[in-house]
């Protein structure tokens, strides 16, 4: 049987891992009886942890949210992950969070055991962040949007998009992060269609509106939908290519924000991409370095034929070391 202090830490860890526990389940995991579990729960409450309890057969215990944040219980890997995440956030795309992340990191590192502090410092010292200039977003805007997605509340906000400055009234579905930018996927009430919005183009915190009944979302998952909207929808030319390689290999040679990928079978991948010109599209496809077939559009296939003949003619004009041109 665990000592009382160790048992309380174990109980707290269990409550953090799962949303609901029955008294019997907790007793079995701790090796005590249900009465001891009740006493231990009372001790946690006295320490400031808001543990909710529901009576009856379907009842149980749940760690709730309190007015004050009690200490978190983290294992070694979790503590390292949080420390690394805070250091990364200090150089992230959410504006205003850098200083907060540094303060939280300072508090965490004060209580880290020396063995864990060495692991975190080693990773920090031997890692260089190449941070490009990216548009940052207000964390309040992100949290407001995320809460509206969760609670199914409409949002109103000004938006600086391709159509100029507009007012948008939307039913939010979810947020997607590409590593450089945040995007909101939402049903545009006025346009009666799904739309993708860059969050950094929302200049102020959105206003919350009435609750709504969620609509049937786009057929593909959120990440795939955003990928398609970014890589295909905005462009004059939209191409479909059958790549003669599995999806994982094609994904390594492309970016999810520039192409949309779907597996056709174990050896072929459907690549969809957009471009403002056939010339740019043809050169980009050649740089992927994978054999392919053109599905759409027909004019791309004709452009590639002309481009291929031009390259062949250029290669044929180069003389060999002996002075004779290569055979045509």
Nearest-CA neighbor of 32 among 1, 59, 5?
1
The CA distances from residue 28 to 11, 39, 224, in Å, are: 11, 15, 43
For position 59, what pLDDT does the model report? Answer: 64
Provide the mean pLDDT of the chain: 82
**What is the torsional sign of CA 116, 50, 20, 12?**
positive
**What is the torsional sign of CA 73, 75, 77, 80?**
positive
More confident residue, 6 or 127: 6
Nearest-CA neighbor of 169 among 186, 155, 151, 150?
155
- Among the residue ranges 20-24, 83-87, 214-218, the one predicted with the least confidence is 83-87
Confidence of residue 223 (pLDDT cuts 50, 70, 90): confident
Mean pLDDT of 175-199: 89
For position 141, what pLDDT does the model report? Answer: 87
Confidence of residue 58 (pLDDT cuts 50, 70, 90): low
Q: Taking a C-beta distance cutoff of 8 angstroms, is the pair 194, 209 a contact?
A: no
The Cα 159–Cα 186 span in angstroms is 13
């Amino acid at each position: 049987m665990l000592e009382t202090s160790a048992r309380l830490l174990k109980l707290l860890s269990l409550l953090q891992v799962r949303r609901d526990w029955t008294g019997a389940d907790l007793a079995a995991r701790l090796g005590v009886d249900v009465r001891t579990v009740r006493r231990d729960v009372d001790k946690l409450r006295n320490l400031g942890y808001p543990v909710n309890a529901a009576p009856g057969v379907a009842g149980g215990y749940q760690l709730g949210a309190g007015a004050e944040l009690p200490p978190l219980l983290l294992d070694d890997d979790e503590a390292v992950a949080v420390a690394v995440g805070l250091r990364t956030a200090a150089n992230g795309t959410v504006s205003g969070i850098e200083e907060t992340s540094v303060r939280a990191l300072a508090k965490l590192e004060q209580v880290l055991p020396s063995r864990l502090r060495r692991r975190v410092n080693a990773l920090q010292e031997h890692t260089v962040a190449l941070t490009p200039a990216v548009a940052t977003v207000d964390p309040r805007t992100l949290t407001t949007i995320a809460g509206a997605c969760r609670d199914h509340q409409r949002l109103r906000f000004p938006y600086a998009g391709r159509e100029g400055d507009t007012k948008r009234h939307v039913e939010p579905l979810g947020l997607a992060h590409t590593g450089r930018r945040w995007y909101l996927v939402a049903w545009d009430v006025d346009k009666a269609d799904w739309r993708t919005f860059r969050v950094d183009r929302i200049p102020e915190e959105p206003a919350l509106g009435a609750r709504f009944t969620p609509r049937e979302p786009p057929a593909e998952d959120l990440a795939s939908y955003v990928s398609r909207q970014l890589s295909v929808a905005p462009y004059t030319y939209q191409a479909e290519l059958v790549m003669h390689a599995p999806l994982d290999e094609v994904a390594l040679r492309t970016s999810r924000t520039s192409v949309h990928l779907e597996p056709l079978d174990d050896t072929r991948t459907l690549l969809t991409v957009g471009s403002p010109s056939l010339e740019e599209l043809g050169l980009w496809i050649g740089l992927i370095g994978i054999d392919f077939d053109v599905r759409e559009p027909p004019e791309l296939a004709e452009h590639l034929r002309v481009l291929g003949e031009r390259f062949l003619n250029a290669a044929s004009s180069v003389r060999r070391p002996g002075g004779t041109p290569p055979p045509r």
